[in-house]
Structure 1
Amino acid sequence: MLRASCRQEPRFGRIIGVGGYRPQRVVDNSEICRSIDSTEEWIETRSGILRRHFATPEETHAVMGAAAAEKAIAASGIDPLEIGCVIVATTTNLVSLPAVSVEIAGRVGAVNAGTFDLNAACAGFCYGVGSASAMIRSGEADHVLVVGAERLTDLVDPTDRQIAFLLADGAGAAVLGPSEEPGIGPVVWGADADQLEAVVMTRSWGDYRHSPQGPAPVMKMDGRRVFRWAVEAMVSTAHEAMSAAGVTVDDLDAFIPHQANMRITEVLVHELGLPARVAVADDIITAGNTSSASIPLAMEHMLTSGQAGSGDIALLMGFGAGLTYAAQVVRLP
């Protein structure tokens, strides 16, 4: 017969440290325009992006993810040995085993942790935070490391005018720990299978580009379809997440959506009716779209730049291929 947990007092999860890694190579719009029929002004108007980071072959998922994780662990003040689980959200790891999470755990010294990778596309970080929070609340882990690590440029045809200017590389991480007060609201998540064809990875191998893992398939996206879906579907998801957390837009201090496109963010801000005082993540301007890494990267930027502060209440929102989606309200570390 299973023994009941001896833990009597309720406990909650909270983000206690964040970190990010941005690849060394910076690519501006003028360089992108060498490969696509476009202009710098068109790219900026269409997406808000001025520049982004491309990873070198040496900047693998594990290298970038571990660098971001080390910063998050340092910010949290815990020993890596205290980490009970490492969750890595990634869409672009082309080798299914061993999992990236295993190498990252080893690199940061989290030798006591269980590990697994998850792929929920650009909603992956929110999925990871939701899963980590549940682990902490149940007592299965005291501290969980959640990492988003992406090399989207391995999958992009640099001549594809639809997405070549959007996608980039990077990693972000967060350490979650126990809290006496709620620090992470319930995750509201789901997937819309009617939108399977909106963002896809081709089954044929591209011969124009080689990642550190070998020849890579090509990613394709119907940008207009994703835009329409996001601005229609994510508003209700955001309201569900706020309701589940017991807050309203008037309680928010920050809005940190997946950095997909600045135009999408601006429409969501308007449709949600966010007060002007709410800080809105705009990391896409200098980082591009980094899929599951974009929310933790934006969170770190907001905290280090002073756009947001420790203890602020933030609405997180992710959406991507599938189309998968997730949102939750958190208290910033």
Structure 2
Amino acid sequence: MIRRAVVRGIGHYLPERVVPNSDFEATLDTSDEWIRARTGIERRHFAAEGQTTSDLGTRAARAALDDAGLNPDDIDAIILATSTPDLTFPAAATMVQEALGMQHGFAYDVQAVCAGFVYALTNAQAMILSGQADRILVIGSETFSRIMDWSDRSTCVLFGDGAGALVLEAAEGAGTTEDRGILAADLNSDGRHREILYVDGGVSTNSTGHLRMQGKEVFRHAVEKLAQTAHRALDRAGLGPEDVDWIVPHQANLRIIKATAQRMGLPMEKVVVTVQDHGNTSAASIPLALSVGKSRGQIKPGDLVVTEAIGGGLAWGSVVLRW
């Protein structure tokens, strides 16, 4: 028998304010039809004034704990993926820890932009396999509406706010591909491509900044790198695309999602798609989609799931897990 990191529960939270594409028509040279045709996005959620990334993350964490039938006392650690923390420091994860009433264990943030949740999930797996923790709350939470340039139609219509969380716990497996839990992962980054997706400000540059993106370049890298990382993770698990029940990709753009599935030789019927309702929620994207996929009855126990994401850095990666 070997130690595995298994999903025990999952949940998500979306802010109450829903923003349809038509809301942008009054201030930008754009339309609902233009946005849908190029991105597949129909609406997104924006956080209320004063509502922070840790607030969203806390609500998603509580939903995941409820789904798992656990309480904060059962959790050893919190790893929160975000590029939009409440403050420069401390980590938003410690704010979630306090909000949950959790006075033990440890909590920290991971920053890999849209690939953040894949990085956080892989971090959590390593903690569990090493014996550092038995149960970890892994959260992706973002308020990207705070870093938008509302005059840039190429970026501000793409992003939304939200949070997703799952409980990852130690369990015994037989060491085969039929085990539940994370079976393999693949992480990558290449800082040479920083300029195609970044925020033009930060603490050490003494400026706030807005998100900037070269859309065509991001699209090209995304389609190529997402398929590659998924294949590498499957190879490491001793599996192939034919074994996959569901792809749960980063929800950035429907055209990227379709092109990546095509490169993997998988039909869209095997892809969980939520981008139309949430837009790009960065590190929250994958856990949000996993939670929605489960609630829809798509993802079931025993299913083989591949998650994949790419974000600023560039940073990208994938995780193969059996639900």
Picking from 13, 26, 29, the partner of 2:18 is: 26
Secondary structure of residue in 2 paired with 1:259: coil
Q: Which residue pairs with 1:188 in the alignment?
A: 186
Q: Are 2:83 and 1:85 equivalent residues in the alignment?
A: no
Secondary structure of residue in 2 paired with 1:158: coil
Q: Which residue pairs with 2:176 in the alignment?
A: none
Q: In 2, distance between residues paired with 1:157 and 1:65?
A: 24
Q: Deviations over 1:29-65 (max 9, x none)?
A: 1002222211111100100011000101232111110
Q: Which residue pairs with 2:305 in the alignment?
A: 314
Please report how far the alpha carbon of residue 276 of structure 1 lies from its aligned counterpart in structure 2 after TM superposition: 5.8
Q: In 1, distance between residues paired with 2:322 and 2:307?
A: 10
| TM-score, structure 2 normalization | 0.94
Q: Which residue pairs with 2:243 in the alignment?
A: 251
Give the conservation status (yes or no) of the 8 Å contact 2:40–2:276: yes
Picking from 103, 124, 133, the partner of 2:125 is: 133
Please report how far the alpha carbon of residue 275 of structure 1 lies from its aligned counterpart in structure 2 after TM superposition: 4.4
Secondary structure of residue in 2 paired with 1:137: helix
Secondary structure of residue in 2 paired with 1:226: helix
Q: Are 2:274 and 1:297 equivalent residues in the alignment?
A: no
1:214-293 map, 5 Å: 216-275=208-267, 277-278=269-270, 280-293=271-284
Q: Which residue pairs with 2:197 in the alignment?
A: 199
Q: Which residue pairs with 1:4 in the alignment?
A: none
Please report how far the alpha carbon of residue 307 of structure 1 lies from its aligned counterpart in structure 2 after TM superposition: 2.2
Runs of 4+ in 1 over 6 A off after TM superposition: none
Give the conservation status (yes or no) of the 8 Å contact 1:195–1:323: yes
Flag structure 2 segments of 5+ consecutive residues without an equivalent. Answer: 174-178
Q: Deviations over 1:247-288 (max 9, x none)?
A: 11111111001101011000001110014652x121110000
After superposition, the Cα gap between the structure-2 partners of 1:30 and 1:277, relative to the gap in structure 1 and judged at 3 Å, is: closer
Q: In 2, distance between residues paired with 1:285 and 1:248?
A: 29
Calculate percent identity across the aligned residue pairs: 38
Q: In 1, distance between residues paired with 2:292 and 2:281?
A: 14
Flag structure 1 segments of 5+ consecutive residues without an equivalent. Answer: 1-8, 206-214
After superposition, the Cα gap between the structure-2 partners of 1:179 and 1:39, relative to the gap in structure 1 and judged at 3 Å, is: same
Please report how far the alpha carbon of residue 145 of structure 1 lies from its aligned counterpart in structure 2 after TM superposition: 0.6
Secondary structure of residue in 1 paired with 2:148: coil
Deviates more, 1:286-295 or 1:71-80: 71-80
Q: In 2, distance between residues paired with 1:185 and 1:196?
A: 30
Give the conservation status (yes or no) of the 8 Å contact 1:86–1:115: yes
Q: Which residue pairs with 2:114 in the alignment?
A: 122
Q: In 1, distance between residues paired with 2:208 and 2:298?
A: 38
After superposition, the Cα gap between the structure-2 partners of 1:30 and 1:276, relative to the gap in structure 1 and judged at 3 Å, is: closer
Which amino acid in the other structure matches residue 199 of structure 2? M
Give the conservation status (yes or no) of the 8 Å contact 2:128–2:134: yes
Secondary structure of residue in 1 paired with 2:210: strand
Q: Which residue pairs with 2:5 in the alignment?
A: 13
1:146-165 map, 5 Å: 146-165=138-157
Please report how far the alpha carbon of residue 108 of structure 1 lies from its aligned counterpart in structure 2 after TM superposition: 1.7
Please report how far the alpha carbon of residue 216 of structure 1 lies from its aligned counterpart in structure 2 after TM superposition: 4.1
Q: In 1, distance between residues paired with 2:306 and 2:111?
A: 21
Q: Deviations over 1:222-255 (max 9, x none)?
A: 1111000111122111100111122111111110
Q: In 1, distance between residues paired with 2:29 and 2:213?
A: 17
Give the conservation status (yes or no) of the 8 Å contact 1:105–1:113: no
Q: Deviations over 1:263-322 (max 9, x none)?
A: 1000001110014652x1211100000000000000111110112223211100011000
Picking from 51, 63, 67, the partner of 1:75 is: 67
Number of residue pairs the alignment of both structures matches: 314
Give the conservation status (yes or no) of the 8 Å contact 1:32–1:164: no
Q: Which residue pairs with 1:212 in the alignment?
A: none
Give the conservation status (yes or no) of the 8 Å contact 1:249–1:275: no
Which amino acid in the other structure matches residue 327 of structure 1? S
Please report how far the alpha carbon of residue 94 of structure 1 lies from its aligned counterpart in structure 2 after TM superposition: 5.7
